[in-house]
């Protein structure tokens, strides 16, 4: 396709759809027109990908995740289709700015943070690697809340992302399935004496799938992300005549739970979990049966992945379908289930380990509960007398009136992986140690990754251009080729070009900050970024205390030789997470204080950008000089913003936590600022119970000065919140060792300040960060899942019957 043809088709489609000329059309109409050209161009390949999988009896993986966080899809689809440049230029010639159309698309925010974003990076990578893999999740009516600041407090507004429709999805009514919720179940012998379940009462939910094409990077592969929407089945209409009844029914899957780390423990959440699990597993079995292959071989056709424990009921639902519906013996079904299932653990924090009360589970999905009971009974029966009695008690699925979802996922699958080396080691040695003793072969590591296409090619076109000119374009397909950049670490022209790209990105972020917050920041200053959910363990507070220290130091000595710095935060707090919201309030108040204080001559600025989401991340990350990855060691499973930021040339200041350890290994100690307790030292404190925050406070006058600023009126309008945070540190003994790491953190910050003053050295460090980021591509991650866990292969690994070439693009 050439530009001329594109312009012609675009004008024709606009005329067909809206009976309009370009000059009359609104941005929304232009956006709809472009989207419709795109979906009709890739839908043939979507159908063909689907057909090829079927005709080749291709084994497929199904990634079950209660969250997906794709952000906007317009540019990413254009890039992957090979259309981006052509469309940008073609539109420009029609007097249309592509970026104006991008603004129309709402962020698809059906996730809270890292977990959902990982699932979406995987969707991009699975398709881009040509792997047969699908997503399975929930089509929430409302995505993650929109965050506003009112009087420096967080306020949550609903995210009505579907209001103007969704271009990319296709409703597939004919693929709907019913899900049974509630009621009673008992087992009754049939004429042959086999027990079958009899259901009484309860209700039927209709699950209707909405499919979204996952377009691979210039390879003509289009996979499917299937999101289930809840509807009232026609035969149940009578029960939902009243508006109230209808509303409470529809509410079941209408909102995403806005907490990323605390289990809600609510009946609605459990219903959501069973709803998308049952619908997804049923549709997999329906497809498999249409292939007419022996049921015993289903593990050669399907791999089901349980992303965190929310879909752990896949284990029991698969058993239910094989045993109850397909009349398979328990033993055969169990063998197949474990071969089909695999599980990723994402956290080691106790409050995030999901458990459901027996009563609630009996209430929501009684048959599933019976099956879990039987799995648990057999688990004990098999091990009793063979294994240590206490170990069996600790690893049971059902204990103390609760169903432990991680136990179900581990026992019912063949693979359990962590998401970074350190995390996977901690699973084996501490958190899941008992299971490791039982099943050492099931444990493995898959370090997280990020979709390089979105996080460099789209987010950072300025740097991408420099990379193309310096090392050629192969890095766009193979991220390991970023290493070629190391050949240029002494090349001033390249160092300057990269710095110029960074400067451009900083200027445009500065303009965004000016227009959205009214704060003037200089692009000459260090842009120091901490963007992630607001959580005590992520320690935004440590960052804040350092900022307060710098401020107080500058007040004392305005000539203090520090580089001007702009501290940038982006973070949402769960609406019910009181402490996290207090931190937001205090950061905002400190910002108001500092930004208005002319005596510090603009040396410090503090900006908290509202409504952190994928699109905002794409703006901030290319402009970052410093990446804050300062969680308490052992708490962050992996992190992925650490990867996005290093890729874009930011220098990391980090604890040895999650994937930071591997980033350090990748760049070497001279190109990262490491500080703080190690995970071993943290565990020592837990064991010896000998951490006393108050001693640090009483001994260290700097800590005293900074912490007192929270309660002595230095910072206005935080009487309550300042006291609350002060108490968390002093009275409640500083659960996340903020004060313990403070001095070391300040020293690391000082070394960052010094490194920045040596411009050439700083630019070299930045280059080395980008050059060594290739290993954190999610293409690498999903390839490892495909090889080691799912045993799936690319569609045309053996034959190339569709004649696809590596750089194929789409015809109109
Ligand atoms: C990458 C990303 C995250 C994850 O950030 P971490 O620092 O790894 O917790 C969260 N939210 C959004 C919008 C992201 O893009």
pLDDT band at 676; cut points 50, 70, 90: very high
What residues pair up with 199 in beta bridges, in sequence order?
185
pLDDT band at 722; cut points 50, 70, 90: very high
Closest CA to 270 of 313, 224, 219: 313
Q: Ligand 1 centroid vs 130 CA: distance in angstroms?
A: 26
Helix or strand run (H / E) with residue 418: strand 416-418
Give the residue, by CA position, lying nearest to ligand 1 atom 2: 114
pLDDT at res. 352: 80
Q: Which of 225-239, 415-429, 519-533, 768-782 has the lowest mean pLDDT?
A: 225-239
Q: Which atom of ligand 1 is nearest to the CA of 639?
A: 8
266, two tokens: 């609510």
Report strand pairing: 68-71 vs 195-200: unpaired
The verdict on residue 123 lying in a domain is yes
pLDDT at res. 810: 61
- Whether 399 and 324 map to the same domain: the answer is yes
Q: Any catalytic annotation for residue 678?
A: no
DSSP secondary structure of 60-80: EEEEE-S-EEEE--HHHHHHH
Q: Report the share of the chain in percent with pLDDT over 70.
A: 98
Distances (CA, A) of 175 to 48, 170, 280: 18, 11, 11
The verdict on residue 133 lying in a domain is yes
185: left (phi over 0), alpha (psi -120 to 50) or beta: beta
Q: Any catalytic annotation for residue 532?
A: yes
Q: Any catalytic annotation for residue 23?
A: no
- Note whether 239 and 251 are within 8 A (CB): no
Given 640, 652, 714, 770, which residue is catalytic? 640
Average pLDDT, rounded, for the chain? 95
- Whether 415 and 299 map to the same domain: the answer is yes
Give the residue, by CA position, lying nearest to ligand 1 atom 1: 641
| Parent domain of 330 | 56-71+107-446+784-797
Given 605, 644, 763, 768, which residue is catalytic? 644
Q: Ligand 1 centroid vs 112 CA: distance in angstroms?
A: 9
Q: Any catalytic annotation for residue 761?
A: no
pLDDT in tens, 147-177: 999 999 999 999 999 999 999 999 999 999 9
Q: Ligand 1 centroid vs 612 CA: distance in angstroms?
A: 9
- In a 13 Å sphere around the CA of 132, the CA atoms on its Cβ side amount to 26
Q: Which atom of ligand 1 is nearest to the CA of 71?
A: 13
Q: Ligand 1 centroid vs 118 CA: distance in angstroms?
A: 9
DSSP E strands in 648-734: the ranges are 651-654, 673-674
Helix or strand run (H / E) with residue 702: helix 701-708
**3-state DSSP assignment of residue 142:** strand
**CATH number of the domain that 322 lies in?**
3.40.50.2000
The verdict on residue 48 lying in a domain is no
The verdict on residue 281 lying in a domain is yes
Q: Which atom of ligand 1 is nearest to the CA of 644?
A: 1
Give the residue, by CA position, lying nearest to ligand 1 atom 10: 113
Residue with tokens 């004060």: 739
- Of 617, 773, 776, the one to substitute when testing ligand 1's pocket (max ligand atoms within 8 A of C-beta) is 617
Q: Please tell me what DSSP assigns to residue 157.
A: E
Average pLDDT of span 306-322 = 98
Q: Any catalytic annotation for residue 578?
A: no
- Of 641, 650, 652, the one to substitute when testing ligand 1's pocket (max ligand atoms within 8 A of C-beta) is 641
Please state at what angle helix 492-517 crosses helix 759-771, rounded to 10 degrees: 90
Give the residue, by CA position, lying nearest to ligand 1 atom 8: 639
Q: Ligand 1 centroid vs 620 CA: distance in angstroms?
A: 12
pLDDT in tens, 430-475: 999 999 999 999 999 999 999 999 999 999 999 999 999 999 999 9
**All residues at 6 or more sequence positions from 578 whose CB lies less than 8 Å from its CB, including other chains:** none
Q: Report the share of the chain in percent with pLDDT over 90.
A: 92
The verdict on residue 244 lying in a domain is yes
- Of 67, 76, 113, 609, the one to substitute when testing ligand 1's pocket (max ligand atoms within 8 A of C-beta) is 113
Distances (CA, A) of 774 to 241, 626, 656, 754, 769: 56, 19, 20, 27, 10
pLDDT at res. 126: 98
Q: Is the pLDDT of residue 567 over 50?
A: yes
Please compute Rg for the chain using Cα positions. Answer: 27
282, two tokens: 């049923």
Given 506, 532, 546, 565, which residue is catalytic? 532
Q: Ligand 1 centroid vs 448 CA: distance in angstroms?
A: 12
Q: Ligand 1 centroid vs 550 CA: distance in angstroms?
A: 27
Given 139, 206, 305, 346, which residue is catalytic? 346
Kindly tell me the burial class for residue 203, based on how many C-beta atoms sit within 10 Å of its own C-beta (0-12, 13-18, 19 or more). Answer: middle
Closest CA to 634 of 580, 687, 673: 687
**All residues at 6 or more sequence positions from 448 whose CB lies less than 8 Å from its CB, including other chains:** 118, 419, 420, 638, 639, 640, 643, 659, 776, 778, 781
CA dihedral sign, ordered 474, 479, 480, 481:
positive
Closest CA to 212 of 76, 14, 58, 16: 76
Closest CA to 246 of 232, 234, 256, 228: 232
- Of 261, 459, 531, the one to substitute when testing ligand 1's pocket (max ligand atoms within 8 A of C-beta) is 531
Q: Ligand 1 centroid vs 726 CA: distance in angstroms?
A: 28
- Whether 772 and 789 map to the same domain: the answer is no
Q: Which atom of ligand 1 is nearest to the CA of 658?
A: 8
Q: Ligand 1 centroid vs 240 CA: distance in angstroms?
A: 40
CA 593 – CA 553 distance, rounded (Å): 15
pLDDT in tens, 493-512: 999 999 999 999 999 999 99
Give the residue, by CA position, lying nearest to ligand 1 atom 9: 532
- Of 458, 532, 635, the one to substitute when testing ligand 1's pocket (max ligand atoms within 8 A of C-beta) is 532
pLDDT in tens, 361-393: 999 999 999 999 999 999 999 999 999 999 999
Residues with a CB atom less than 6 Å from ligand 1: 113-114, 117, 532-533, 613-614, 617, 639-641, 644
- Note whether 527 and 624 are within 8 A (CB): yes
Number of structural domains the chain divides into: 2
- Whether 184 and 278 map to the same domain: the answer is yes
pLDDT at res. 348: 86
CA 135 – CA 117 distance, rounded (Å): 13
Q: Which atom of ligand 1 is nearest to the CA of 69?
A: 13
Report strand pairing: 341-344 vs 302-307: parallel
- Note whether 627 and 652 are within 8 A (CB): yes
Q: Which atom of ligand 1 is nearest to the CA of 629?
A: 7
- Whether 403 and 536 map to the same domain: the answer is no
**All residues at 6 or more sequence positions from 381 whose CB lies less than 8 Å from its CB, including other chains:** none
| Phi, psi values for residue 473, rounded to 5° | -100, 0
- Note whether 652 and 672 are within 8 A (CB): yes
The verdict on residue 678 lying in a domain is yes
What residues pair up with 149 in beta bridges, in sequence order?
154
Closest CA to 342 of 418, 276, 434: 418
Given 533, 603, 740, 763, which residue is catalytic? 533
pLDDT at res. 808: 53
- Note whether 269 and 276 are within 8 A (CB): no
- Whether 672 and 570 map to the same domain: the answer is yes
Q: How far is CA 152 from the centre of its chain?
A: 27
Give the residue, by CA position, lying nearest to ligand 1 atom 15: 614
Q: Please tell me what DSSP assigns to residue 713.
A: S
Given 310, 404, 538, 581, which residue is catalytic? 538
CA dihedral 255, 258, 262, 264 (to 10 degrees): -20
Q: Which atom of ligand 1 is nearest to the CA of 450?
A: 1
- Note whether 275 and 179 are within 8 A (CB): yes
The verdict on residue 6 lying in a domain is no
Q: Ligand 1 centroid vs 123 CA: distance in angstroms?
A: 16
CA 209 – CA 280 distance, rounded (Å): 9
pLDDT at res. 798: 43
Q: Which of 126-135, 231-240, 358-367 has the lowest mean pLDDT?
A: 231-240
218, two tokens: 């210039």
Report strand pairing: 169-171 vs 108-110: unpaired
- Whether 440 and 484 map to the same domain: the answer is no
Give the residue, by CA position, lying nearest to ligand 1 atom 3: 114
- Note whether 33 and 15 are within 8 A (CB): no
pLDDT at res. 265: 74
Residue with tokens 């005709």: 55
**All residues at 6 or more sequence positions from 278 whose CB lies less than 8 Å from its CB, including other chains:** 177, 179, 180, 207, 313, 317
What residues pair up with 357 in beta bridges, in sequence order?
402
- Whether 474 and 386 map to the same domain: the answer is no
CA 279 – CA 276 distance, rounded (Å): 5
- Whether 514 and 546 map to the same domain: the answer is yes
- Whether 338 and 190 map to the same domain: the answer is yes
Q: Ligand 1 centroid vs 759 CA: distance in angstroms?
A: 29
Helices (H), 251-365: 267-290, 314-320, 330-340, 358-364
Q: Is the pLDDT of residue 724 over 50?
A: yes
Q: Is the pLDDT of residue 803 over 50?
A: no
Written in H, E and C, the secondary structure of 458-520 is HCCHHHHHHHHHHHCCHHHCCHHHHHHHHHHCCCHHHHHHHHHHHHHHHHHHHHHHHHHHCCC
Q: Ligand 1 centroid vs 457 CA: distance in angstroms?
A: 18
- Whether 250 and 369 map to the same domain: the answer is yes
Q: Which atom of ligand 1 is nearest to the CA of 613?
A: 13
- Whether 248 and 343 map to the same domain: the answer is yes
**All residues at 6 or more sequence positions from 464 whose CB lies less than 8 Å from its CB, including other chains:** 456, 457, 476
Q: Is the pLDDT of residue 805 over 50?
A: no
CA 756 – CA 763 distance, rounded (Å): 9
The verdict on residue 44 lying in a domain is no
């Amino acid at each position: 396709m050439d530009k001329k043809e594109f312009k012609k088709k675009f004008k024709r489609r606009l005329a067909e759809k809206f009976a309009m000329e370009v000059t009359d059309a609104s941005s929304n109409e232009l956006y709809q027109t472009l989207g419709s050209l795109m979906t009709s161009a890739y839908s043939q390949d979507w159908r063909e990908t689907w057909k090829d999988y079927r005709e080749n009896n291709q084994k497929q993986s199904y990634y079950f995740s209660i969250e997906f966080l794709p952000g906007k899809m317009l540019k990413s689809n254009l890039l992957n289709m090979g259309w981006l440049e052509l469309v940008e230029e073609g539109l420009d010639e029609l007097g249309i700015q592509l970026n104006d159309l991008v603004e129309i698309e709402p962020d698809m925010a059906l996730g809270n943070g890292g977990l959902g974003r990982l699932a979406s990076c995987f969707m991009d990578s699975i398709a881009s690697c040509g792997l047969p893999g699908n997503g399975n999740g929930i089509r929430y009516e409302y995505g993650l809340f929109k965050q506003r600041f009112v009087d420096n407090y967080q306020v949550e507004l609903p995210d009505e992302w579907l209001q103007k429709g969704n271009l990319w999805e296709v409703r597939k009514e004919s693929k709907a399935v019913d899900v049974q919720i509630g009621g009673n179940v008992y087992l009754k012998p049939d004429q042959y004496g086999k027990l079958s379940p009899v259901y009484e009462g309860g209700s039927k939910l209709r699950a209707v799938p909405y499919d979204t094409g996952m377009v691979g990077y210039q390879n003509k592969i289009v996979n499917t992300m299937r999101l289930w929407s809840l509807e009232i089945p026609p035969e149940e209409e009578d029960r939902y005549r009243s508006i109230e009844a209808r509303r409470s029914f529809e509410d079941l899957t209408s909102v995403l739970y806005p907490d990323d780390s605390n289990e809600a423990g609510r009946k609605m959440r459990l219903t959501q979990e069973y709803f998308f699990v049952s619908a997804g597993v049923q549709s997999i079995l329906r497809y498999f049966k249409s292939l007419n292959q022996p049921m015993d071989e289903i593990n050669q056709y399907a791999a089901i992945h349980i992303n965190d424990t929310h879909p752990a009921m896949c284990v029991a639902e698969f058993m239910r379908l094989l045993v109850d519906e397909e009349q398979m013996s328990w033993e055969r079904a169990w063998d197949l289930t474990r071969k089909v299932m695999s599980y990723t653990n994402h956290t080691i924090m106790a409050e995030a380990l999901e458990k459901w009360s027996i009563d609630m589970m009996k209430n929501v999905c009684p048959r599933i509960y019976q099956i879990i009971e039987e799995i648990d009974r057999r688990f004990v029966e098999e091990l009793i007398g063979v294994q240590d009695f206490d170990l069996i008690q600790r690893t049971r699925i059902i204990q103390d009136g609760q169903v432990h979802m991680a136990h179900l996922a581990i026992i019912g699958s063949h693979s359990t992986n962590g998401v970074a080396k350190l995390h996977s080691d901690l699973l084996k040695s501490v958190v899941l140690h008992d299971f490791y003793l039982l099943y050492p072969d099931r444990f493995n590591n898959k370090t997280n990754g990020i979709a390089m296409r979105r996080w460099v090619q789209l987010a950072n076109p300025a740097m991408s251009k420099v990379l193309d000119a310096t090392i050629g374009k192969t890095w766009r397909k193979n991220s390991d080729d970023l290493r070629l950049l190391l050949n240029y670490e002494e090349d001033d022209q390249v160092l300057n070009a990269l710095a110029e790209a960074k400067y451009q990105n900083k200027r445009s972020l500065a303009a965004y900050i000016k227009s959205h917050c009214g704060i003037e920041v200089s692009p000459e200053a260090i842009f120091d970024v901490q963007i992630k959910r607001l959580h005590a363990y992520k320690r935004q507070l440590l960052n804040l205390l350092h900022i307060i220290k710098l401020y107080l130091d500058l007040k004392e000595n305005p000539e203090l030789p520090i580089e001007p710095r702009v501290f940038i935060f982006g973070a949402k707090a769960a609406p019910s997470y009181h402490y996290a919201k207090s931190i937001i309030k205090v950061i905002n108040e400190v910002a108001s204080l500092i930004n208005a204080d002319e005596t510090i001559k603009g040396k410090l600025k503090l900006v908290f950008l509202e409504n952190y989401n994928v699109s905002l991340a794409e703006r901030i990350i290319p402009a970052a000089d410093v990446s804050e990855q300062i969680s308490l060691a052992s708490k962050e499973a992996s992190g992925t913003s650490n990867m996005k930021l290093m890729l874009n040339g930011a220098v990391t200041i980090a604890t040895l936590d999650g994937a930071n350890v591997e980033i350090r290994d990748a760049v070497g100690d001279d190109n990262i600022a490491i500080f703080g307790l190690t995970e071993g030292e943290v565990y020592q404190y837990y064991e010896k119970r000998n951490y006393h925050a108050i001693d640090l406070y009483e001994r260290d006058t700097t800590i005293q000065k900074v912490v007192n600023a929270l309660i002595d009126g230095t910072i206005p309008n935080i009487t309550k919140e300042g006291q609350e945070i002060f108490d968390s540190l002093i009275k409640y003994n500083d659960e996340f060792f903020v004060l313990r790491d403070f001095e070391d953190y300040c020293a690391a910050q000082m070394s960052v300040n010094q490194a920045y003053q040596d411009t050439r050295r700083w630019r070299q460090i930045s280059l080395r960060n980008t050059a060594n980021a290739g290993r954190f591509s999610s293409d690498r991650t999903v390839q490892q899942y495909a090889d080691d866990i799912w045993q799936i292969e690319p569609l045309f690994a053996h034959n190339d019957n569709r004649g696809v070439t590596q750089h194929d693009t789409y015809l109109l």
